[in-house]
Structures are given as C-alpha cells and as structure tokens.
Chain A
Amino acid sequence: MVSYRTPLGRARGLGSAKHGATHWIAERVSSIALVPLVIWAIYGVLRLASGDYGFAVHWIQDPLNATLTVLTLATSFWHMHSGMRVIVEDYIHKTLTKSGLLIINLFVCGLAGALAIFSVLKVALGGA
C-alpha cells in the first residue's frame, strides 16, 4: 500500500514505544525492595552457613523465612533479568545475537527462578 503521508507526518506523535519509563521505574522499585531483603538475606546466609540440613529445613519452614526467601528470590531474578537485559542492549547490536542473548537471559532467569521458588515452597510446606 502506498502511503501519501510525508515521513514527518508518519513520525510525528509516534515517539518511543512508551515502555521506557515502565522498565526504568520497575528497576528502581525492585532495587528499593532489595535493599532490606538483601540485608535480611545476608543474615539468613550467615545463620544457614553454620547449620546443617536439619537446621535449614527447620529455618525455611518458618513462615517469615519462607516468605522473605521467596520474595528475595523473585525480586532478585526480576532485577537481574532487567539489569542483564540493559547490558545486552547496550553492547550487542547485531539483531540475531542480541535477540538470542535476550531470550537466553529471560529463559535462564525464568527457569532458575521458578526452580528455586518451587524448591523453597516444597521444603517450606513439608514436602522434604
């Protein structure tokens, strides 16, 4: 179809995809959430490091620990996915390589995140 509109007419008002601000804000909000979560997680790692398997099961079956662990994992995976995505978009400019790396990033974060959260819930809900 031949368009009789001028290039300027087509571009005017189009602007960006209007998604940039959403990504930017989501990364900031996840980083704000991660500040207390990570500090709590470091405390958790210190306690888990000095305990054995039995202690870890007991620890994760505490509702507060289970909830905060799932939240830390989910927020971390979200945050690291957006961070790695920005890095790929910054440095990789070949469409195929870029798309491939973005898909790998999404799949790694999605798979590892789902596995980790499901594992925590399994132990926390008494499956182990």
Chain B
Amino acid sequence: MVSLAFGDINSPNTKDLPQMTCPGIDPAMSPWLHTEGIKSAFVDTPRPALKSGAASRIRIERRKRMTDASKTPRERPVSPHLVTGGLGSPLLWRWHITMWTSILHRASGVALYVGVLIAAAWAIALAQGPESYAAFKALLGSLPGKVVMFGLTACVFYHLGNGIRHLVWDTGRGLDVKSANASAVLVFAFAVAATLAIWGIAGMTGAL
C-alpha cells in the first residue's frame, strides 16, 4: 500500500504526469509513502532534507491535490477486456479482424469436434452393414445434413488455414499488427474460396 507520484518536482509538467494514489491512505498522515524529487518509482524513505524551502511548498500543494483526488476518484486505466460490465453492455474495444480470427478458431474447433464425431459415426455405420450405411448416407444427404456438412467444410478450411497461420506465428514470424491483419484476410479468403471450390467439385462429380 504505497502512494506513488512520478516525475521531478521541479518539472513544469508535473501536473500532467499520471499520479497513482491508493485509496485508504491519507498522504498527509504518511508523508514518506510517496516518492518525490526522484525520478524512480521505488518506495522512498523519510528524507527530512526535502522538508525545507520550495520543495516543502510544492509538497504541501501536491498533498492538497492528492487529497482532493482521493475524494473524487479519477478514471482508472482499464486492462484489455471485452465488455465494460455484464452481458449486453457496450464493447470497450473496437472489433479487430484478429479478434474475429481468434474467436472463430476456437468456435470452428468446437464445431469440428462434432465433425469428427460424425466421421466416427460414418465408420461405425460402415462396420454395421449396408442398411446402417445407407441410413447414415441418407441422413447426411438430406437438406439439414447438407447444411451441416457445408458448415463443417467451411470450419475445416478455416481451422486449417488459421492453424497454419498459428504454426507460422509459433516460429516467431508474422506477429506484427500489419502481417497479422493481412494473414487474417488471407485465411478468410482461403476458407471461402476452398469451401466453394470443394462444393463445386462435389456438385460436378455427383457427390451431392
């Protein structure tokens, strides 16, 4: 529980510098709990030498200001998080494309979890015999089945493309904002193009 003030007291810009105050500590009661006259942020020890002359006046001035500030707490800096409050509250951060890629990577991964279970159901149906296999194919060939398969195709290509993007990142390359934005657009374009291409091929080869 330490009250800190940054900057040199002789600097004309002292008022503009950020001051971090801790509620619950009255600076007037513990004058040694803030660093003054030094440019570092470590905890100061009592320094009677500073209590005389101009430094003392500035110190009293600052103490007044800090006491006022503790009555009406100024807006605190906020850490990066999505919403200001509960659900439905306005977003604190502008939506970036890289946010979308990250969220969709997880979402498509969850969708593909179901997709692999469908693949497992295919293998089980195949082992059970012609009737089960025909029923399985009829289910996937129905309109809802096709919608699910189309969605899974998009998820496969998105997760594949963005997974490769993550693997490139793991080597330390392409992590700057410009590259990350560009690769995000590339991954989305690849996912859309590959999905449409595969369904085009499926339509031409009679797989639909």
A contacts, CB < 8 Å to B:
28, 31-32, 34-35, 38-39, 41-42, 46-50, 52-53, 56-57, 60, 69, 73, 76-77, 80, 83-84, 87, 108, 112-113, 115-120, 122-123, 127-128
Could you say which interface size class chain B belongs to? 20 to 34
List the A residue with the shortest CB-CB distance to B117.
Answer: A112
B112: which A residues are within 8 A, CB to CB? Answer: 80
Residue from B116, B164, B201, B205 within 8 A of A35 (CB atoms): B164
Q: Which label, helix, strand, loop or mixed, suits the secondary structure of the A interface?
A: helix
**Mask: chain B, 87-113; 1 = CB below 8 Å from A; 0 = not:** 000000000000000000010011011
Is there contact, CB below 8 Å, between A46 and B126?
no
In the complex, besides A69-B123, A119-B126, A122-B127, 18 extra interface pairs with C-beta distance below 8 angstroms are A28-B170, A31-B163, A31-B167, A34-B163, A35-B160, A38-B156, A50-B205, A50-B207, A53-B133, A53-B134, A73-B116, A87-B106, A112-B120, A116-B119, A116-B123, A120-B127, A123-B123, A123-B127
B28 on the A face (CB < 8 A): no
Q: If the complex has contacts A38-B160, A57-B126, are A50 and B116 also in contact, measured as CB distance less than 8 A?
A: no
Is there contact, CB below 8 Å, between A80 and B113?
yes
A49: which B residues are within 8 A, CB to CB? Answer: 202, 207-208
Give me 16 A-to-B residue pairs in the complex whose CB atoms sit less than 8 angstroms apart, sorted by A's number: A34-B163, A42-B153, A42-B198, A46-B201, A49-B208, A56-B133, A57-B126, A60-B126, A76-B119, A84-B113, A112-B117, A112-B120, A116-B124, A123-B123, A123-B127, A128-B129
Q: Output the least CB separation between A128 and chain B (Å).
A: 6
A112: which B residues are within 8 A, CB to CB? Answer: 116-117, 120
